[in-house]
A and B are shown apart, each in its own frame.
Chain A
């Protein structure tokens, strides 16, 4: 009896979230998958089921390039961000002057929207932005437009800047919170047994932090993989990420292209789920190896 009451409570607790998810997420997802297989009578396409649209987007020139860029824009800022955050979180464990103020200040980007970060990067780093003008006034370049082109190219530097600005605070919060509750005694006994600082870090602190580091990285990677607005504004006109390509197809005045856009978004979803599944698989086997499970 008690069991049913408990599960009823759980169901009731989950219902509102599940309901919203069901309507907003699963509903839209189902519809876009249907469209990607050719069910879009509203746009004059009703060939369900067909793989034509998948075939079209995969065989399109530049698909592999876009796929490569999508991974590049997702992986590089995630890895760099994780390293920065780890260093920052460790630094925060030590006392220093003005730590209280810093603990407050470094979190600010977390509540500021990505688009504000994008505008900041444009103001500072575009050719003709503040830094280019500074270089020009110092006589280091002949005109502001000679400044090295960081935005509007596929190098991704502008995109990385925004992602790092926003995500390093986020990952640091997760790591720092975890560090605070980590058991100090292990580190202390390692110290007493003669382990050096690097040994203590790699054999005690890092394995202890692994769950937090892993989940923070996973969240950030998944976001960057599916990110749209930052590469759209700061990336090159071409090539760009799969999300930007999907948007182009969706925005085409010819609406019969929309199923192809949906095929691309479905592919993005499948790919990012695969990546997450792989990462989780690796993490679990690592945990088993280290006896954490």
Chain B
């Protein structure tokens, strides 16, 4: 803020003033960059960080603002907590996380380095993190250096750490703090479809679609919800039989032929069911989860899938889903689970305040309140909590409606390596959507080349 004021002053007051203002701006940047280096190298105590955060006084958090429940929860709980630390939390509610990523990158292109940007923190995962990471626009490895880092499993030897160390296959390298978790689930209306008759795996889905043509569809890739459905299909049809494990490998370790052989059975399945999807022969794929939900609510499809362990609970609560909507544990071959994160951009103007915000978000108190009040799953790892906190978390969790947490937990599998996702979505577009007549291996080769 200070820099920007001095900058606008300089424009008004002319060359001489501009010179001095510019000098002070440079000093401020060097100062911020210095802070970044010292913090990342472990030379600062947490008291130093909190002191600097108080001096900064504000923190600008950009987050997807499409959920009124979440917005209200932030106002109710996070704002007062930050106030106690002497920091004003300013939230910017955006329609898509990409907006914040674009802002950071535009500023970076305009030469705004550490301390000179406008975004202190972004709630993100997957593609958006991948973009910031490849454009080298992140603050650095901070997530394992906060006091509340103890609530997360960062030890690569423990399997549970995978969700914290890898974001859609992109190594997080502690450049983002886990904030919430999600699992791909399906929902259905028990008044239209009984649990016994609902498909349980992909073979069951194919048969069910044969009997009930047009009563299901999935979100269109390259939307991540659609990509995830396709990935789940590929896991289930992995000819090597090791399901999701084969898809943890990076793209560079595959030849085109090997990768084509791995995904061909899954894509053939998608091709087979296409004629029985919604649309009467010409499959209709909704553009996003909201469009899919309205197909479901309109009675055009009988069940639908997206990320949301507590989606049914919160949508039933708000009246957006019928009271007869329940969660469906589909497919039995494995439901993809991942986390979403809080990242600090490289050019954050208030990095210390952002670190304090990340730390507060990772407290057991706020994590449990977020779970209980708005049904956002825990980002912290249960295994790292005390027994008392574990019990509190168990009490706080809303119902999954129809399935148990154990059942969902036992079906959870890891996300696909991000470098493979890009190829998979391109193959889907060529093979399923554009019905390319080229040999399958050629399609895969083209998709790998375009990457």
Report how far A239 CA is from B294 CA in the complex, Å.
22
- Say yes or no: B300 contacts A42, CB within 8 Å: no
**Contact status A145-B214, CB under 8 Å:** yes
Query: Judging by beta carbons under 8 Å apart, are A237 and B434 in contact?
Result: no
Q: Tell whether A128 pairs with B298 under 8 Å between CB atoms, given A152-B284, A253-B127.
A: yes
Asked whether, in the complex, the Cβ of A238 is within 8 Å of the Cβ of B434, the reply is yes
Q: Please, which residues of chain B bring their CB within 8 A of the CB of A61?
A: 430, 434, 436
With an 8 Å Cβ cutoff, the count of chain B residues facing the other chain is 32
Q: Are B282 and A153 in contact (CB under 8 A)?
A: yes
Q: What is the distance, in angstroms, from B389's C-beta to the closest C-beta of chain A?
A: 36
Given A145-B214, A238-B434: A255 in contact with B299 (beta carbons within 8 A):
no
Q: B279 on the interface (CB 8 Å rule)?
A: yes
Looking at the assembled complex, report how far the CB atom of A126 sits from the nearest CB atom of chain B, in whole angstroms.
Answer: 8
Chain A min CB distance to B64 (Å): 16
Q: Does B54 contact A (CB under 8 A)?
A: no
Is B128 an interface position by the 8 A CB rule?
yes
**Binary flags per residue of A105-140, CB closer than 8 Å to B gives 1, else 0:** 000000000000000000000111000000000000
**Cα distance, A238 to B282, chains bound together (Å):** 11
Decide if the interface of chain A is mainly helix, strand, loop or mixed: loop
Interface of B is mostly: loop
Within A44-95, which residues are at the interface with B (CB < 8 Å)? 44, 61-62
Give B268-294 as 1s and 0s: 1 = Cβ < 8 Å from A's Cβ atoms.
Answer: 000000000011101011110000001
Q: Does B244 contact A (CB under 8 A)?
A: no
Asked if B282 and A255 sit within 8 Å, CB to CB, the answer is: no
Give CA–CA (A128, B98) in the complex, Å: 31
> Do the beta carbons of A255 and B131 come within 8 Å of each other?
yes
B433 touches A238 (CB 8 A): yes
Considering only residues 200-225 of chain A, those with a C-beta below 8 Å from chain B are none
Given A61-B436, A143-B299, A145-B299, A153 and B284 contact (CB-CB distance below 8 Å): yes
Q: Establish whether residues A127 and B298, one from each chain, have CB atoms under 8 Å apart when the complex forms.
A: yes
Chain A residues near B309 (CB-CB < 8 A):
none
Q: Answer whether residue B109 sits at the interface, using C-beta atoms and an 8 A cutoff.
A: yes
B282 to chain A: which residues have CB within 8 Å?
A: 153
With A153-B284, A237-B220, A253-B127 known as contacts, the answer to whether A127 contacts B436 (CB < 8 A) is no
Which 9 residue pairs across A and B have the least CB separation, nearest first?
Answer: A128-B298, A253-B127, A42-B109, A145-B300, A237-B220, A238-B433, A237-B285, A62-B434, A253-B131
A-binding residues in B (CB < 8 A): 98, 105, 108-109, 127-128, 130-131, 135, 214, 220, 222, 278-280, 282, 284-287, 294-295, 298-300, 422, 429-430, 433-434, 436, 451
Other than A42-B105, A128-B294, A251-B98, give 20 A-B pairs with Cβ distance below 8 A: A42-B108, A61-B430, A61-B436, A127-B298, A127-B300, A128-B299, A143-B299, A144-B299, A144-B300, A145-B214, A145-B278, A145-B298, A145-B299, A149-B280, A153-B284, A237-B433, A238-B429, A238-B433, A248-B222, A254-B422
Q: List 16 A-B contacts (CB under 8 A).
A: A44-B135, A61-B436, A128-B294, A144-B298, A144-B300, A145-B278, A152-B286, A153-B279, A237-B220, A237-B285, A237-B287, A239-B434, A251-B98, A253-B127, A253-B128, A254-B422
